[in-house]
Every structure is written in C-alpha cells, then in structure tokens.
Amino acid sequence: IKSFWKCKAPIKCLVFCWQMLLNAFPCKSLLQVRGVELDNNFCSFCSLFVEDPLYLFLMCPMAFNTWLAVANWLEVAVVFPNSLISLYLYRTNLGIYKKHSHFLRVVWVSVIWSL
C-alpha cells in the first residue's frame, strides 16, 4: 500500500481509489448509514444487491465482467479476492519486475476509476 501514491495517475483518480480502499467511498449503503435518504440502496448498475464498495467494484456483474476482460487482456489468472485491499495487492503485485508493478497500478486505478 505504501507505493499507492507513487502511481502515475491523475490525483483525482488516486483519491477516488483511496476512498474505495478505506471503505469511505460514498456508495448507497454508506450514504444511508450517514443519514442520506435514498429511494433504495441497491446497486446502481444491476439492482440485484445492496450497493457497498465491495459489491460495486468487485461482485456486481458489470464489475466482475470488467475484471475478467482485464485479466484476459493481461493474460493472468482470474482471481477474485474477498476484499478490495486484497484485490489491489493481488492485481498490482503480478509484475515480476518493478516496471511491471507501476504499469499494473495504473491499470488497477484506471479500471476502478472507469467503473
């Protein structure tokens, strides 16, 4: 995690991802906990389950299919960890060499930002 802020990505993307890693991303379930009134707290993309950071960025069919496509593009095994921090650590440590790790961090931030 120490290397997170060294990622060559726009600061707004890094802040967005950092909020997500800290479980501070303003998704529907967390907004309701803070007293924000919403019509429902289901995922904005699929409406299948409660929208929390883990579901929104990893388990929602839209996110799941995006990660499958990225894994296929990178030609790496498809692994779906049970936490967002585990996802970050797994996806950014696939590179044997340091230069690959930098690239993988940018890919990870880009995918999270685009979801």
Note whether residue 4 is domain-resident.
no
Note whether residue 2 is domain-resident.
no
> Among the listed ranges 24-28, 60-64, 91-95, which one has the minimum average pLDDT value?
91-95
Note whether residue 88 is domain-resident.
yes
Q: Find the domain containing 71 and state its range.
A: 9-114
3-state secondary structure of 35: coil
72 Cα distance to chain centroid? 17
> Among the listed ranges 18-22, 69-73, 88-92, which one has the minimum average pLDDT value?
88-92
pLDDT digits (tens, 9 = 90+) for 44-54: 999 999 999 98
Q: Cα Rg for the chain, rounded, in angstroms? A: 15
pTM here is: 0.82
Which segments of 1-115 does DSSP mark as H helices, in order? Answer: 11-21, 28-33, 53-54, 61-74, 84-92, 98-114
Q: How many domains does the chain have?
A: 1
pLDDT interval class at 91 (50, 70, 90): low
